[in-house]
Structure 1
Amino acid sequence: MDKKPKITVLGSINMDLVTITSQVPKRGETLFGEHFQMNPGGKGANQAVAAAKLGAQVQLIGCVGNDRFGEDIVAHLQEQGVDVSNVEPVTDITATATIIVSDQDNSIIVVPGANNYVTASFVESKRDVIAASDILVLQLEIPLEGVQKAVQIAKENGVKVILNPAPIQALPSELLKDVDYFTPNEHEQELLRKNRAEEELDGKLIVTKGSQGVCIYEDGEEVIIPAYKVDVVDTTGAGDSFNGGLAHALSKGLSLKDACKYGNAVAALSTTKLGAQTGMPTSAEVEEFINSQK
């Protein structure tokens, strides 16, 4: 893996506001929480960091607010090795995800803020950046029109596209046709089946199944790429780690099977530490881990 790949990630950039409590308050009730933390997040930013920590040349396209959250996130991304020259402050509010983690359940409120500004016209302004990439990685936490425009530009310029369809939504047939790799989890795959979209993804579908590994399809046959067994601490960001690892491996010329194995190793290691971006491994850590499994 000598060539340094050029990966462009287009997607969401959030500040995650996490409150840990033993009990969620009832309507009108005030309770004391146990812990609070702020973590840079958003699937776009997460996947960019995952690939960058593996040594890829990664540029992130997206929007933040003209606020402290935006400044802090951009500085953090730079520290992680992500090129943020195409991350633009466009409004007053950076996207936030307010997450309440309790003994009973987790709940999340997302305010899209600046992510809503990743429109088709914004993406068109980044045409040259996308066209010069080896691989484009996308998710669905930004407006669909922005995703469609990016895929169109990539297709016109021979750039491979990985679409992680999260959160899942109905997708146009034209978009599915132009995507090279489609990476839903099991839940998202079920919704695709209900919408009969899975039929349009023959040869492109890569389904992540957590501890069961990854399922790909070759000549109509289901092939399972087993997961690595590790002591799990936190699964947050495992899917984003897989997608970052997959992009890195594919852009280096690995076969789909080997790229999925590599992505599995990246995802497995990410679950052994707390946090999404903080738990993502380096290339050296992944190579050492893979060698230890032989």
Structure 2
Amino acid sequence: MAPPQICVIGSLNIDFVTYTPRCPDAGETLTASSLAISAGGKGANQAVACGRASFASKDTQNVSVSMIGAVGADDPYYAALLRPTLEGSGVSTTGIKQMKDNQTGSATIIVDEGAGGENRILFVPGANYTGMDNAEAVLATTRDIHLEQGVVVMQGEIPRATTLGLMQHFNDPACRSHLIFNPAPVFTEGIPLSALAGTSVLAMNETEAVLMTKTVQEFLTLPQQTQDLKPEELAPLFHKHAQVQIVLITLGAKGAYYSTITGKQGFVPSAAVEKVVDTTAAGDTFVGYFAAALAEFVATGAPLAGFDAQIDTAVQKANVAAAGCVQRKGAMQSIPFAYEI
């Protein structure tokens, strides 16, 4: 049996997080509660979640996790925050390129404490775009880290052209790896059906699921507006028109819905939460924990359809991890290790 392996391809950011009783109106200056500077980026967040999900104990890591991305060369935040957090979570950083004359990506996050920890985010791509603009170069890096049979996790914070090229490669039936695609954010131009076709796992929140239906919209005759469709009505569209094997739709505090191309469907309620502090990395935590469960299954060499027997348990654990995440401040630092939940 091949060792379980995950490769996360995506963004690495420095997060500047401001906590405020409420968001200021236009032209208003408001005294906020606090400022925190921390490691972030959806790619890096999900890599940390994959890594921490694979620790059955403090000394036992069940899945090998690697990160591929780009940062600014000699960036003190990378050396002091990003790399130590990744490596401390069991993530290899050998696939991260340091770019001269480029800045590390950044995110300015406003956390509205008066609205239950809801957040607003401004993203500056930096090296996430300039260093990730060549799909062939990224694929060469996957070969350098000896990715053979495993799980590849991708999001929407690197260039669209690179993302599409990588999706077509990893979704090719000849490829032995399985792609988990989290379209966050959803590209304005959408995802062509040719790139989405055959994706192993499409993981979205409710808003992303509605936006992503535009990818298959030309094939549909809907009796009602897409945004009015329920998760159990949206998911089959991706199975039928894009042959997506597994569709996951997270529903915030309500839980998560899953559907497989073989016909298994289910709703898993969220885990109990005493107090929501910060929702920043909840979705990334969910994706990372699900990816870790899938990677362990893929390593057995069994057909993906066999994961139907484990999917409910995998979603339950991902929900529990996400619930642990929202009760802490920050992005990466709020993601729990598996032995903590």
TM-score interval, smaller chain: 0.7 to 0.9
Give SS of 1:88's match. Answer: strand
1-side partners of 2:146 and 2:177: how far apart?
8
Change (3 A) 1:20 1:285: closer
Change (3 A) 1:225 1:33: closer
Superposed counterparts of 1:45-56, under 5 Å: 45-55=44-54, 56=63
* Residue 221 (structure 1) shift: 6.8
Change (3 A) 1:130 1:180: farther
Contact 1:96-1:112 within 8 A present in 2 as well: yes
Q: Does residue 229 of the first structure (1) align with residue 272 of the second (2)?
A: yes
Which of 273, 281, 286 matches 2:328?
A: 273
2-side partners of 1:193 and 1:222: how far apart?
19
Q: Does residue 64 of the first structure (1) align with residue 71 of the second (2)?
A: yes
Which of 179, 183, 201 matches 2:239?
A: 201
Give SS of 1:182's match. Answer: strand
237-246 or 154-163: bigger deviation? 154-163
2-side partners of 1:144 and 1:130: how far apart?
25
Change (3 A) 1:256 1:21: closer
Superposed counterparts of 1:1-294, under 5 Å: 5-22=4-21, 24=24, 26-27=26-27, 32-55=31-54, 56-66=63-73, 67-72=75-80, 73-91=82-100, 92-102=102-112, 106-116=119-129, 117-119=131-133, 120-128=135-143, 129=145, 131-154=147-170, 155=172, 156-169=174-187, 170-196=190-216, 199-202=237-240, 203-218=245-260, 222-233=265-276, 234-253=278-297, 255-286=310-341
Contact 2:268-2:315 within 8 A present in 1 as well: yes
The code of the aligned residue for 1:201 comes to H
* Residue 50 (structure 1) shift: 0.6
The code of the aligned residue for 1:99 comes to I
The code of the aligned residue for 1:65 comes to G
* Residue 25 (structure 1) shift: 6.9
Change (3 A) 1:264 1:130: farther
115-124 or 37-46: bigger deviation? 115-124
The code of the aligned residue for 1:161 comes to L
Q: How many residues align?
A: 284
* Residue 80 (structure 1) shift: 2.1
Return 5+ residue gaps in structure 1 as ranges: 287-294
Give SS of 1:108's match. Answer: strand
* Residue 205 (structure 1) shift: 1.4
Change (3 A) 1:94 1:133: farther
Sequence identity of aligned pairs in percent?
A: 32
Q: TM-score scaled to structure 1, two decimals?
A: 0.86
Other-structure match for 2:227: none
2-side partners of 1:112 and 1:167: how far apart?
12
* Residue 269 (structure 1) shift: 1.9
Change (3 A) 1:37 1:223: same
Give SS of 2:287's match. Answer: helix
Contact 2:18-2:36 within 8 A present in 1 as well: yes
Contact 1:19-1:36 within 8 A present in 2 as well: yes
Other-structure match for 1:290: none
Runs of 4+ in 1 over 6 A off after TM superposition: none
Other-structure match for 1:291: none
Using CA pairs under 8 Å that are at least 6 residues apart, name the structure with larger relative contact order, 1 or 2.
2
Return 5+ residue gaps in structure 2 as ranges: 55-62, 218-233, 298-306
* Residue 194 (structure 1) shift: 4.5
Other-structure match for 2:225: none
62-71 or 95-104: bigger deviation? 95-104
* Residue 30 (structure 1) shift: 5.6
Give SS of 1:44's match. Answer: helix
* Residue 3 (structure 1) shift: 8.4
